[in-house]
């Protein structure tokens, strides 16, 4: 179809920022409302890239490319991207807002309570991430082209649980399609969090879907033991830990671990990418084990479990959390987002 100006529906959009959720390394995340005519308001998470990154052309290009790439990923276990925008040179991404804890805080909470994570719950979380990865790894663009999406940053901070027991993988933000692979750029930037890298990522080699499977293995190990698999902070030592040293035995830490789950973990953590299962195969193996457990892990079970380990937060978040928080000052960003714009089609239609 020919595209012309007639096919563009301009609209006057704005966001109301409700509270700052977190200040990450690369961006600040806000809970916000996307406003529309006649009181329409949709809850979103707004990720605003820090100005120092936005002024870095390479990063900006990466951010934009990845937002474009992941814009069409629509899956129940993936945080949906709604919009990429720019106001006064500040770039933001609007996405599905997840009410619930990250896997980071679930693991930390178990460590604090000195209570291992129930095995079926850990396996269930990993199995849902496998589904998200399998979908993304095999994603075909609307034009029919295989994109070979790789997440590259599967880590407990990017795995979220909703209070009603669903698992969502966030931030295909630094994932990169092999089709837009830039080896020169690749060598200069470490993608992903350094303690959750695959050997090939750590060695700055070409990375594909199999790298995400290894990284999910690292996350599964941490869910089972409540300890990170890789701990070294000094980069050279960490490199040896990830690529050379024998991996610690999970059975030594979790003696009651069923052989089947141990087997899934060992295969995901194979240093040779050819020996790892696909995300789909890893998910099926976990599901086969989960299905034989009583009670079977389901969203309901996860919901109950979250309510048990976070007895107070759930109420606070599902209530009027935004009002309970100290208001956040959003200065230029807020003004920028709400700056009057040329009235668009809907604005004219609704007389705004
Ligand atoms: N879609 C979302 N809905 C609700 N909260 C979110 C959402 N995305 C992120 N967050 C919150 O914001 C925090 C920071 O997210 P951010 O993605 O900036 O950092 P990160 O996940 O720790 O690192 P990375 O840069 O690897 O993604 C998360 O830990 C989570 O608490
Ligand atoms: Mg994140």
Residues of the chain with CATH 1.10.510.10: 103-309
Decide: 153 in ligand 1 pocket, CB within 6 A.
yes
Q: Is 103 helix (H, G, I), strand (E, B) or coil?
A: helix
pLDDT reported for residue 186 = 45
The alpha carbon of 316 is separated from its chain's Cα centroid by a whole number of angstroms, namely 23
Q: Does residue 346 register a pLDDT over 50?
A: no
d(CA 91, CA 308): 38
* CA pair distance 67, 89, nearest whole angstrom: 17
Considering the four listed CATH numbers 1.10.510.10, 3.30.465.10, 1.10.10.1200, 3.40.1080.10, the one that applies to the domain covering 103-309 is 1.10.510.10
pLDDT 10s digits, 204-242: 898 999 999 999 999 999 999 999 999 998 988 999 999
Token look-up 């194979």 returns 270
Q: Which two tokens stand for residue 269?
A: 């953590």
79 lines ligand 1 (CB under 6 A): yes
Ligand with smallest separation from the Cα of 156: 1
Phi and psi angles of residue 226, each rounded to the nearest 5 degrees, phi first: 60, 20
* pLDDT at site 157: 94
Highest CATH level, class, for 9-97+318-350: alpha beta
For residue 155, the ligand closest to its alpha carbon is 1
Q: What percent of the chain has pLDDT over 70?
A: 82
- Place 114 in a pLDDT band, splitting at 50, 70 and 90: very high
* Residues 6 or more apart in contact with residue 190 via CB below 8 angstroms: 197, 201, 204
- Indicate the pLDDT class of residue 143, thresholds 50, 70 and 90: confident
Instruction: Give the mean pLDDT of the chain.
Output: 84
Q: What is the pLDDT of residues 250-269, one digit of tens each?
A: 999 999 999 999 999 999 99
Name which residue sits closest to atom 29 of ligand 1, judged by CA.
Answer: 157
Pairing state of beta strands 81-87 and 41-49? unpaired
High-pLDDT (> 90) share of the chain, %: 59
What pLDDT digit, counting tens, does each position of 95-109 carry? 999 999 999 999 999
Which atom number of ligand 1 is nearest to the Cα of residue 101? 31
Beta carbon of 157 within 6 Å of any ligand 1 atom: yes
> Greater confidence, 91 or 173?
91
Label residue 19 exposed, middle or buried (CB < 10 Å: 0-12, 13-18, 19+). middle
Phi-psi region of 155 (alpha: psi -120 to 50; beta: other; left: phi over 0): beta
pLDDT of residue 334: 54
The pTM score is 0.87
pLDDT tens digits, 301-345? 999 999 999 998 765 444 444 443 444 545 445 554 554 444 444
Nearest Cα to Cα of residue 31 among 89, 99, 101: 99
- Whether residue 48 contacts residue 30, with contact meaning beta carbons closer than 8 Å, is answered with yes
**pLDDT tens digits along 35-50:** 988 889 999 999 998 8
Query: To which residue do tokens 């720019």 refer?
Result: 86
- Which residues of the chain are in CATH 3.30.200.20 domains? 9-97+318-350
In the prediction, which pLDDT does 337 show? 55
Q: Does the C-beta of 197 come closer than 6 Å to ligand 1? A: no
Q: Cα(344)–Cα(269) distance, rounded to whole angstroms?
A: 52
pLDDT of residue 12: 67
Distance CA 28, CA 21 (A): 8
- Average of per-residue pLDDT across 156-175: 89
What is the residue-wise DSSP string for 190-223? --S-GGG--HHHHTT----HHHHHHHHHHHHHHH
pLDDT(66) > 80: no
Query: Does residue 273 contact residue 197 with C-beta atoms inside 8 Å?
Result: no
For atom 9 of ligand 1, which residue has the closest CA?
29
């Amino acid at each position: 179809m020919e595209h012309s100006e007639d096919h563009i529906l301009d609209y006057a959009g704005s966001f109301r920022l409700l509270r700052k959720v977190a200040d990450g390394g690369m961006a600040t995340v806000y809970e916000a409302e996307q406003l529309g005519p006649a009181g329409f308001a949709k809850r979103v998470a707004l990720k605003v890239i820090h100005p120092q990154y936005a002024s870095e052309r390479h990063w900006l290009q990466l951010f934009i490319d990845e937002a474009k790439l992941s814009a069409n990923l629509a899956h129940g276990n993936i945080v949906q991207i709604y919009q990429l925008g720019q106001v006064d040179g500040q770039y933001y991404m609007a996405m599905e807002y997840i009410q619930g804890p990250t896997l980071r805080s679930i693991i930390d909470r178990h460590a604090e309570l000195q209570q291992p994570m129930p095995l079926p719950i850990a396996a269930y979380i990993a199995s849902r991430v496998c589904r998200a990865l399998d979908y993304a790894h095999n994603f075909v663009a609307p034009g029919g082209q295989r994109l070979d999406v790789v997440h590259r940053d599967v880590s407990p901070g990017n795995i979220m649980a909703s209070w009603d027991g669903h698992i969502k993988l966030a931030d295909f933000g630094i994932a990169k399609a092999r089709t837009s692979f830039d080896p020169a750029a690749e060598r200069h930037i470490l993608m992903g969090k350094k303690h959750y890298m695959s050997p090939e990522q750590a060695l700055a080699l070409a990375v594909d879907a199999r790298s995400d499977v290894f990284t999910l293995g690292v996350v599964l190990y941490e869910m089972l033991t409540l300890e990170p698999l890789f701990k070294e902070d000094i980069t050279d030592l960490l490199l040896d830990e990830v690529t050379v040293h024998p991996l610690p035995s999970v059975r030594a830490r979790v003696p009651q671990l069923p052989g089947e789950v141990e087997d899934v973990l060992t295969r995901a953590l194979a240093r040779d990418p050819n020996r790892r299962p696909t995300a789909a195969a890893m998910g099926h193996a976990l599901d086969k084990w989960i299905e034989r457990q009583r009670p079977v892990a389901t969203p309901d079970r996860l919901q109950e479990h979250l309510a048990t380990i976070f007895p107070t937060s759930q109420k606070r978040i599902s209530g009027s959390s935004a009002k309970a928080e100290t208001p956040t000052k959003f200065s230029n960003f807020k003004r920028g987002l709400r700056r009057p714009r040329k009235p668009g089609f809907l604005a004219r239609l609704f007389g705004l």
